[in-house]
């Protein structure tokens, strides 16, 4: 798969996707979105991949927003189509059976912040900064920021970030629940890969069911979500991995999952 704006490396069952436009602070372009769409589909369809890490090239930026020079003269229809394109890609990340980890180095603004929020886990370097500054250029978040941010940090904090356009640093992002953990810049990728490797060591079926339970259940009322969880829980007892996992626990040995 030929990529110009992204790098894709698969090693030890972990895919690492790097947005590779450091001279432009990894600003997101329509071409980058096209490549990301293909890359997410490739990762989701590859049974050898168990988890994915998304990061940005260089130490300055994860993704410092969209490329405004390419957006300035868009028509209303073109802008809506761009937003729908991003929504589809970010939804594919959420729906993927593979957990995605955002390793956020430096600025994660606009579409960069929105991409990180579509990932399942966010790990930030201590120099990371997050923001939805679209209001400063006369628009609103268009890649899911107005919806995912309040779901993660609450309505009040989300509206403050969106309406002021102010950034929050890594420590504040951790405090409000926007990221899972903060690590020194030079430990970011190793920490993200450490988490990915731990996830990759689990059974693939249980990993998929856990992600489905959380992601799909959040869109339901509590009663329906619990019923949905019970269905998935029951299904997990029809798998070979359940038999192996419980037998290994009782026999005090490491399980050897068969992913079925």
- Residue 69 CB partners (closer than 8 Å, separation 6+): none
pLDDT on residue 1: 72
pLDDT digits (tens, 9 = 90+) for 193-242: 999 999 999 999 999 999 999 999 999 999 999 999 999 999 999 999 99
Q: What is the pTM of this model?
A: 0.94
3-class DSSP state of 205: helix
Q: Which two tokens stand for residue 249?
A: 């626990």
Cα separation, 208 vs 195, whole angstroms: 16
pLDDT band at 2 (very low <50, low <70, confident <90, very high): confident
Which range has the worst mean pLDDT, 35-39, 66-70, 100-104, 229-233? Answer: 66-70
Cβ atoms of residues 146 and 110 within 8 Å: no
pLDDT digits (tens, 9 = 90+) for 51-61: 999 999 998 99
pLDDT band at 98 (very low <50, low <70, confident <90, very high): very high
pLDDT on residue 59: 87
Q: Which two tokens stand for residue 211?
A: 């992600």
The residues that are catalytic are: 114, 134
Q: Is the pLDDT of residue 68 over 90?
A: no
Calculate mean pLDDT across residues 180-187: 97
Find, among 156, 30, 28, 18, the residue nearest to 81 by Cα: 30
Q: Hey, how many other C-beta atoms are within 10 angstroms of the C-beta on 177?
A: 12
pLDDT on residue 65: 86
Calculate mean pLDDT across residues 165-185: 98
Which alpha helices (DSSP H) does the chain contain, by range? 30-45, 68-71, 76-95, 111-118, 145-153, 155-164, 170-175, 188-200, 204-217, 222-236, 240-250
Domains of the chain: 6-200 (3.90.226.10), 202-251 (1.10.12.10)
């Amino acid at each position: 798969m030929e990529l110009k704006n992204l790098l894709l490396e698969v090693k030890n069952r972990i895919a690492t996707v790097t947005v590779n436009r450091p001279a432009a602070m990894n600003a997101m372009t329509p071409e980058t979105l096209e490549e990301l769409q293909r890359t997410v589909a490739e990762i989701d369809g590859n049974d050898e991949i168990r988890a994915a890490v998304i990061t940005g090239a260089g130490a300055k930026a994860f993704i410092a927003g969209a490329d405004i020079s390419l957006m300035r003269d868009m028509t209303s229809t073109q802008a809506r189509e761009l937003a729908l394109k991003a929504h589809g890609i970010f939804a594919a990340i959420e729906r993927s059976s593979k957990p995605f980890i955002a390793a956020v180095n430096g600025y994660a603004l606009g579409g960069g912040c929105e991409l990180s929020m579509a990932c399942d886990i966010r790990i930030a370097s201590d120099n990371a900064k997050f923001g939805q500054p679209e209001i400063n250029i006369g628009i609103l978040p268009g890649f899911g920021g107005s919806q995912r941010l309040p779901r993660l940090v609450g309505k009040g904090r989300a509206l403050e970030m969106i309406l002021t356009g102010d950034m929050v640093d890594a420590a504040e992002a951790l405090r409000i629940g926007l990221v899972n953990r903060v690590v020194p810049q030079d430990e970011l990728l190793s920490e993200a890969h450490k988490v990915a490797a731990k996830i990759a060591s689990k059974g693939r079926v249980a990993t998929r069911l856990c992600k489905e339970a959380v992601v799909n259940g959040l869109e339901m009322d509590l009663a329906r979500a619990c019923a949905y969880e019970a269905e998935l829980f029951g299904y997990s007892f029809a798998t070979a991995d359940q038999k192996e996992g419980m037998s290994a626990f009782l026999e005090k040995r490491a399980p050897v999952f068969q992913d079925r």
